[in-house]
Amino acid sequence: MGESKKYGINTRALHTQKRIELPTGDVMSPIHLTTTYANSVPGESEYFYGRVSNPTREIFERTIASLEGIENYDELPALAMASGMAAISLIAELVKPDENVVISKDVYGGTTNFFATIARKRGLEVNFCDMYDKEKLESFINNKTKLVWLESPSNPNMNIYDIKSISDIVHSENALLVTDSTFCTPFITRPFEHGVDIIMHSTTKYIGGHSDTLGGAVVTNNQEIYETLYEYQKTSGGVMAPFDAYLCQRGLYTLGPRMELHSKNAHQLAEYLSKSEHIKEVKYPGLPDSPNHDIALKQMNYFGGMLSFFLEDHIDQEKYWDELHLYKLAVSLGGVETLIEVPYLMTHEKVTGLDGEVINNAFEDLIRISVGIENIEDLIEDMDSALNASKK
């Protein structure tokens, strides 16, 4: 499918060109488990060793790159890693000890933790920034800034940031803008269209889509950065295993329709919650009065399957967890099933910055839902009866 750009995104999810076609004519790509490949003469083989390349990983790396808008995905495939955190670590390898990074204060707790601890111990200067504060961001960016890290919508606050205007600031120096696009996937936002240089995904979430595979992916539109990251990927070795790559590739086939349904369900649930007497506030970028709704409209095709909210004080939380049946109280997100969690207690531990500032800003009483693809009437009814049954 050399002319991939002519096809729509759902078609591209299904018809990526493989590097090799099997003589059996498999319609669906099989799982290649071999760790080594026979050479015709020493050192001459299409594939060489499983850590360096694997056809199952490769088809997934090509497809996700294609979905992010990379036309020459054979030259610029993604880099599939063993987890989202492994993908984050891979990108961080680009930064040398005399350089600095700017990380949004409003990101996944594991990302904050990685940069505040491991990256700092390696000698990187790490600055955490409120990305709404353009002056602050400008003050952090200088000729030693290697990368700036952003999530929009942010996890778990569901804040929307203007990716294009942040990329303009980042590119005023030779820095790179990275977005963690786990919440969006290419079906909602394609960050390269807004000036992003490197995209990362925790494929554990929507891409895998069924809460049964751990993985991460990095995509860049810059050949030089790709070559560097590819060297790090194969040398440091935290690659995605063939079975996970198979599941992620399979996840991509239905990602478009799933994202549409997740978003539709989340939108309806957000509307229900925003009218409920038991809810103080709902955070969902699709609600017309939500902050930066105009920016969400500009850079998102749908508003996604994630939402957060605060309960009114008259709700007994312990009772509430007991009364919910379709919402599983569990970390993670992006699977077909609905999950609910308290980020402050479960995914976003507090991290203290160098100057003593508390970096993570997950509010203590914020509740996050990853809305699944169940029938929305059932999800609303379950929520409604749990809320009504939990009044103090």
Ligand X SMILES: Cc1ncc(COP(=O)(O)O)c(C=O)c1O
- Positions marked catalytic: 51, 108, 180, 205
Q: Does position 263 bind ligand X by CB under 6 A? A: no
Nearest to 273 by CA among 307, 324, 316, 315: 307
Of 56, 127, 155, 211, the one binding ligand X by CB under 6 A: 155
* Cβ proximity to ligand X, 110 vs 291, nearer residue: 110
Q: How many amino acids of this chain bind ligand X (CB under 6 A)?
A: 13
Of 60, 108, 115, 303, the one binding ligand X by CB under 6 A: 108
Write the binding mask 265 to 304 for ligand X: x where contact by CB under 6 A, - elsewhere.
Answer: ----------------------------------------
Residue nearest to ligand X (CB): 84
For residue 129, the surrounding DSSP H or E stretch is: strand 125-129
Q: How far is the CB of 183 from ligand X (least distance, A)?
A: 6
Of 89, 113, 204, 220, the one binding ligand X by CB under 6 A: 204
Sheet holding 339-341, edge to edge: 279-283, 306-311, 366-370, 339-341, 328-329
CA distance 341 to 113: 19
Q: How far is the CB of 214 from ligand X (least distance, A)?
A: 5
CB-based burial label for 10 (10 Å; 0-12, 13-18, 19+): middle
* Cβ proximity to ligand X, 271 vs 337, nearer residue: 337
The SS3 call for residue 153 is coil
Stretch touching ligand X by CB under 6 A, among 79-87, 270-278, 310-318, 322-330: 79-87
Of 84, 242, 286, 372, the one binding ligand X by CB under 6 A: 84
User: Strands 328-329 and 339-341: what pairing?
Assistant: parallel
Q: Which residues contact 170 (CB under 8 A, 6 or more apart)?
A: 141, 145, 148, 176, 177, 195
Q: How far is the CB of 3 from ligand X (least distance, A)?
A: 33
Q: Which residues contact 251 (CB under 8 A, 6 or more apart)?
A: 203, 206, 207, 208, 209, 210, 213
Nearest to 370 by CA among 214, 209, 152, 179: 209
CA distance 181 to 189: 8
Q: How far is the CB of 267 from ligand X (least distance, A)?
A: 20
The SS3 call for residue 352 is strand
Stretch touching ligand X by CB under 6 A, among 50-58, 83-91, 142-150, 248-256: 83-91
182's tokens: 């786990």
Phi, psi of 310 (to 5 degrees): -115, 135
Write the binding mask 177 to 196 for ligand X: x where contact by CB under 6 A, - elsewhere.
Answer: ---x-x--------------
CA distance 29 to 21: 9
Q: Does position 214 bind ligand X by CB under 6 A? A: yes
Q: Does position 156 bind ligand X by CB under 6 A? A: no
Q: How far is the CB of 243 from ligand X (least distance, A)?
A: 15
Question: Contact, 17 vs 62, CB < 8 A?
Answer: yes
Q: How far is the CB of 109 from ligand X (least distance, A)?
A: 8
388's tokens: 């009504």
* Cβ proximity to ligand X, 85 vs 141, nearer residue: 85
Of 48, 51, 110, 330, the one binding ligand X by CB under 6 A: 110
* Cβ proximity to ligand X, 259 vs 376, nearer residue: 259
User: Strands 339-341 and 366-370: what pairing?
Assistant: antiparallel
* Cβ proximity to ligand X, 77 vs 156, nearer residue: 156
Q: How far is the CB of 157 from ligand X (least distance, A)?
A: 12
Of 67, 70, 76, 85, the one binding ligand X by CB under 6 A: 85
Positions touching ligand X (CB under 6 A) are 83-85, 108, 110, 155, 180, 182, 202, 204, 214, 216, 332
